[in-house]
Structure 1
Amino acid sequence: MADRPPASSPQMGAGRIRQLEGRSLQVAMWGNLFMAVAGIVAAILSNSIAILTDGLFSLIGFTAAFLGRRISQNVEAGPDRLRPMGYAADEALFATFRALSLLGLVFFAVASASMNIYKFLSGGTPPQLVFAPLMIYFVLIGITCFLLWALHHRTWSRTGKSSDILRLEAKASMFDGIITAAAAIGLGAVYIFRDGFLAPIAPVGDSIVVLVLCLFVVGQYRRDLMSGMSELAGVTASPASLATARRAIRPAIAEHGGTLVDLSVIKLGRSHLVTAYYDPGQPITASRVDGINLQMIADVRTELPGADVHLIISEHPRRWPDEISPF
């Protein structure tokens, strides 16, 4: 996942960005709710586990869009009494929750499909698929997924490609479309060749399609989960973001003198927290420290929109040297 977003349009304010983001997520809510209801109804009419799984994915998408819309309204708010470090971490929490929920659904679907296959191998007879509702479902959901992806991707681009929420929603819509297309191909093959070479597995073809689709998506959801957890754990941002921040604060160091002892960068959602350990090499007033810090913030934000800079006056890096540390 790229840590460094391009700069937002200078003509677009934060209020306009939130408005566009909220509108896109509101459409995502109702679009996913429609797909969830359609999936559950189609699954009941067709006896398809694959379609039920697809509908449950959309139900999680509805919940995620609802929560994402709430988060996007506050994610850029500054520190306050309740949240002294601000609200940027909410976006990382959102990404982690979404990925974890989807992984849970994947494991549930794998367990259900595996149980159906086991029953079939033990002599049971799975419910027969009814294919007519499936064809209508695939067309409607495929079109809906494409429209949602186009909306999220366009809004994400218009708002400077800085919103992890919109990026994840666009990716989710694309994945939903791919999963739906793959399910259509798999179940279509079962229908066409159910009396041919697929006859031995046709009764559990639906369950086999579920297993294949779950194997296809589990890697992506795992990467999203690890990415969100890394941000919440305070893992160092990408080397590109670190190099960008270091370049951005050089003018302030060159103007005021002194030495940059150490620099750390942590990504939280669409924001970056830069901590600069600075040795001025001379006595310095608090007012001047504030001026240097504000200059660094302004310079870094031209490259990493929404970033904040914590300036620490010290002759030592982030970890105390062993020879002077009493701990």
Structure 2
Amino acid sequence: MEVERSALKTGKWANLFMALAGLLTAWLSRSDAMLVDGLYSAVNFISAIAAARIGTRVGLPPTRSRPWGYDFDEVLYVTFRSLILIGVLVFAAVVSGSKIWTFFAGGEVPELKFGPIAVYALIIIAICLSLAVNYHRAYRKTGKRSALLKTEARAALIDGALSVGSGAALLSLPFLEGTILGPYVPIGDAVIVLLLILAIIWQPLAAFRTTLADLAGVSAPGGTYAKVARTARDLAREKGYRFHRAAVLQAGRMHYAAIYLDPQAPVEAADIDAYRDELTERLDRLLGSTRVEVIVTASGRLAKEQAKLPQ
């Protein structure tokens, strides 16, 4: 949709600027924290390119090569984006850990230059806040159904928080001179990086866990399942059918529902199609985009041995 594409396009170029600015500032200031900030923005830039392409494919009808459509592309995107961010943070932890090790081993650690950091921090904070607001506004306009926009809004806030935390902490390091912590100022930015990593790594880990469950075919949340089952049961009762059960999956903004029915009387295939289409319409209004398949069966219950399999 146009709102999503416009927001992602704006974010793409903003993140490219922030990535280049972060890497330049890291080189000028010799700061690992600025390097992490720049790499984080670089990941956001590359992700925005992928997100824009995926956003145009989500919701397209099934094809011969993609019989279930393209909806899982969104889940794949969020999954791999989370993995890349985790990789960047692990890399940053290794770099910072190496600097701390060098310092305590008696090696030489480059002296920080704080001028470029102050300028960079102010600019990046303003950009990140603007991006987060823009993504969130677009997310609301799309009915809060775009996992792409939700992920990017969180990423912009994290990037802004990273800039605020690292910038403020780094600029406070000169004030430690002459105190008991003065001798450790050269590794102050490395310690700050490690603390920031501990604070933000849970977000990509949580996103990875959620999307991994979607890819594994884990049932949709209980609330979503209950809405599908109740709606399918009510419509089946109206049609005179017997509702057995529903199987519900979620892939990003799309839901998949398999409905097991016993018509209990001879029916035309067109009658089942009418049930499917009417249920799809109701679920679209209730949950958002939903793909419905109806399985006609005399026994739709799970076998006891299946029901007892480990979850």
Q: Same fold (TM over 0.5)?
A: yes
Q: Aligned residue for 1:35?
A: 18
Contact 1:24 1:155 in 2 (8 A): yes
1:230 offset after TM fit, Å?
1.0
State the AA in 1 paired with 2:79: T
- In 2, are the aligned partners of 1:190 and 1:198 still within 8 Å (CA)? no
Deviations 1:229-271 (A, max 9, x none): 1111111111111112123223321211122111111000100
Structure 2 counterpart of 1:62, one-letter code: F
Q: In 1, Cα distance between the equivalents of 2:39 and 2:29?
A: 16
Matched with 1:294 is 277
- Determine the structure 2 residue equivalent to 1:175: 158
Which residue of the partner structure matches residue 139 of structure 1? 122
**Per-residue deviation, residues 69-128 of structure 1 (Å, max 9, x unmatched):** 000011110101121100100000010011000000011011111111011110012100
Identity %: 33
Q: Match of 2:86?
A: 103
Q: Aligned pair in 2 of structure 1 residues 302, 208: CA closer, same or farther (>3 Å)?
A: same
Work out whether 1:201 is the aligned partner of 2:181: no
SS at match of 2:182: coil
- Contact 2:232-2:243 at 8 Å conserved across structures: no
What is the DSSP-based 3-state SS (H/G/I as helix, E as strand, rest coil) of the residue aligned with 1:84? coil
Match of residue 68 from structure 1: 51
**Contact 1:249–1:299 at 8 Å: present in 2 too?**
no
CA distance in 1, matches of 2:299, 2:254: 26
- Which deviates more, 222-231 or 253-262? 253-262
User: Where does residue 225 of structure 1 map in the other structure?
Assistant: 208
C-alpha separation in 2, matches of 1:97 and 1:157 = 25
Distance 1:319 1:103 in 2: 39
Correspondence for 2:60: 77
Equivalent of residue 105 in structure 2, options 106, 111, 122: 122
Which deviates further from its counterpart, 191-200 or 135-144? 191-200
Matched AA of 1:284: V
Determine whether 1:154 maps to 2:146: no
Partner of 1:45: 28
> How far does residue 63 in structure 1 lie from its aligned partner after superposition?
0.5
Matched to 1:283, the amino acid is P
The alignment yields a C-alpha RMSD, in angstroms, of 1.4
Q: Contact conserved, 2:229 with 2:245, CA < 8 A, in 1?
A: no
**TM-score of the superposed pair, with normalisation by structure 1:** 0.91
| CA distance in structure 2 between the aligned counterparts of 1:200 and 1:317, rounded to whole angstroms | 71
Residue of structure 2 equivalent to 1:13: none
Contact 1:259 1:279 in 2 (8 A): yes
1:285 equivalent in structure 2: 268
Residues 125-147 of structure 1, C-alpha deviations (whole Å, 9 max, x = no match)? 21000000000000000000000
For 2:135 and 2:177, the matched residues in 1 are separated by 39
Work out the number of aligned pairs and report it: 306
| Pairing of 1:208-247 with structure 2 (within 5 A) | 208-247=191-230
Moved more, 239-248 or 167-176: 239-248
In structure 2, give the amino acid aligned to 1:312.
I
Deviations 1:203-225 (A, max 9, x none): 10010011001111111110011
TM-score (norm 2): 0.95
Distance in structure 1 (CA, Å) of the matches to 2:290 and 2:91: 39
Q: How many angstroms apart in 1 are the aligned matches of 2:181 and 2:76?
A: 44
AA aligned to 1:196 is T
Helix, strand or coil: the match of 1:79?
Answer: coil
Decide which of 247, 252, 270 is 1:264's aligned counterpart.
247
Asked whether the 8 Å contact 2:246–2:260 carries over to 1, the reply is: yes
* Structure 1 residue 320, shift from structure 2 partner: 5.0
The Cα of 1:318 is off from its aligned counterpart by 6.2
Give the secondary structure class of the aligned counterpart of 1:37: helix
Distance 1:262 1:199 in 2: 67
